[in-house]
Amino acid sequence: MLKELQDKKTKYLKDAEEFKKNRNEWNSKASAFSKRRDELNKQTKELIDKAQEYRTKRDEFNNQVSENKEKRNELNEKANEVYARVDSLRKKDNIGSGRSLNELRKEIDHLEFKQQTEVLTTEKERALVDKISELKEEFKKKKEQLEQNQELKSFLGDAQGLRDEASEFHKKVKEYADLAQEYHDKMIECFREADKVRAEADAQHKEFVKAQETADEFHKQFLKLQKEIRDFDKVIVGLKKKAKTEKESKDKVEYKKQAEDVFAQFKAGEKLNTEDLLLLQRSGFL
């Protein structure tokens, strides 16, 4: 039975070492997944921070767009008021005919805005450009006609001055709008990249959890065998102790019998050697 227990203990020691090896391997894998996950999470945070910076810049430029657009619109409104006054005087004095400068100006502005903001086919783009050119030519001729009247010429000069000033603000509107769009695109790209990296980090985390669970399972098996081995040790030690006690008891009986035999020889007058005498002395017969 003792040999059987010792053989089982040897097998358990081998199995425990294998569980320990597997546990350490999976812990190493879990550590690698954890490290990669943390690197990706850090990268995600950096991308989000960068996207927030782009958002701040975009909002700043959008504010500039709003401010300059407001100034442009105010000036255009003032110019339109002057053109309306010119039209009123024109009708009153019966100067010129057809559409007013104000109507032409508004239509030109509307078509130019359409050209700048809408995606058009080549054919529609060409037709729109031709229409704008036609209206500008009509506006120019009507303006030249009205400028024959000095009072109207003065008003038209004021209106043109306001329009020129509004045009400068319009340039700024377009400039800041382009910049706002640029930073908006950068922001979107950063958020898109952050989502991609975050997804990869989540995948690494799932692998980490699986590796850690596998390592934990091997560790449980290792601990279980360690307990079994300790239990075997207790039983083996007990059996060895019992065997030793039994052997000592058996040896003691044999030793006493041997001493009794020698003592019987001594009483019979037989000659004893030194070893026999020592045996009798140790056994208490002398």
- pLDDT of 148 reads 81
pLDDT computed for residue 264 by the predictor:
77
Q: CB of 132 within 8 A of CB of 116?
A: no
How many Cβ atoms sit within 10 Å of the Cβ of residue 112?
Answer: 15
**Residue 152: per-residue pLDDT:** 82
Instruction: Check residue 9 and give its pLDDT.
Output: 80
Q: Residue 118 carries which DSSP code? A: S
Contact 207, 33 (CB under 8 A): yes
- Which pLDDT belongs to residue 266? 67
Q: Show the low-confidence residues of the chain (pLDDT under 70).
A: 1-2, 93-98, 236, 239, 243, 245-253, 255, 259, 262-263, 266, 272, 276-277, 279-286
**Residue 262: predicted pLDDT:** 65
Query: What is the structure's pLDDT at 203?
Result: 97
Give the per-residue pLDDT at 273. 72
Q: From CA 97, how far away is CA 83, in angstroms rounded?
A: 15
Structure-token pair, residue 76: 């255009």
Dihedral of alpha carbons 76, 78, 83, 88, sign: positive
What does the alpha-carbon distance between residue 207 and residue 204 come to, in Å, rounded to a whole number? 5
Nearest to 145, CA basis, from 82, 86, 103, 88: 86
Of the candidates 72, 143, 146, the residue with the CA atom closest to the CA atom of residue 105: 143
61 and 180 in contact (C-beta within 8 Å)?
yes
Cα gap 279→286, rounded to integer Å:
9
Return d(Cα 83, Cα 139) in angstroms, integer. Answer: 12
What are the angstrom distances between the C-alpha of 141 and each of 34, 144, 148, 152, 206?
76, 5, 11, 14, 75
